[in-house]
Amino acid sequence: MPQGIYMDSPRMGEFAWYGEDEAWEVTKELVGLANKDGQLSNIIDAIKSNRVSDDFSELWSREKEDFERKIYSKRSKIKVSFVEIDNAIPVHGPTSEVHEDLIWEDFIALLNPKEKQIVICLKNGITKLSDIGQYLGYANHSPISKAMTAIRKKAKALINL
């Protein structure tokens, strides 16, 4: 548990907070803790202000098609967006991390099960799995492919495919 957040089992018939105002205060506190180092707002700003895959789709067409094909289901249409971010935008770290709706390893995937949307952020100039692997110091693209597979598995679990 992050520092400053305490978990307790709810009592029967009690509410975690009363009213919309108190819920909003809890939400602001939670977002503040998540954005303690400014990383969360930088990532959100990067997604809002940078090019989406339609602008540079020829660079990612194979990877996007492959990713979409592997999570395809006739009943649930899932939108996959690739967002290009520049090298100045901080990404959490060089090691893989998986935490609830976030998966990152020099690229970030935000999974939104309600809108059935996956947003994958990648640093600009690096467009192929092998290039990303080389940039991160791997011998080949295998660790990057495994990270994309982890994103797919997490998406399937969240979106109930």
pLDDT tens for 43-90 read 666 666 655 555 444 555 566 667 666 665 555 566 666 666 555 444
- Res 99: pLDDT: 46
* Residue that is written with structure tokens 């959490």 in the block: 92
- Res 109: pLDDT: 52
Report the alpha-carbon distance of residue 118 to residue 9 in Å, rounded: 33
Contact 110, 91 (CB under 8 A): no
At 151, list the tokens: 């994103």
Q: H or E segment at 112?
A: strand 107-112
- Res 82: pLDDT: 61
Q: For the full predicted model, state whether its pTM sits above 0.75.
A: no
Residue 149 has pLDDT above 60, yes or no: yes
Q: Which of 53-62, 73-82, 134-143, 152-161 has the lowest mean pLDDT?
A: 53-62
Report the alpha-carbon distance of residue 61 to residue 27 in Å, rounded: 38
Q: What is the mean pLDDT of the chain?
A: 63
Taking residues 135-158, what's their average pLDDT?
75
Give the CB-side neighbour count of residue 59, counting CA atoms within 13 A.
18
Q: What are the tens digits of pLDDT across the range 21-43?
A: 887 888 788 777 777 776 667 66
3-state secondary structure of 9: coil
What residue spans define the domains of the chain? Answer: 51-159
Q: H or E segment at 68?
A: helix 57-70
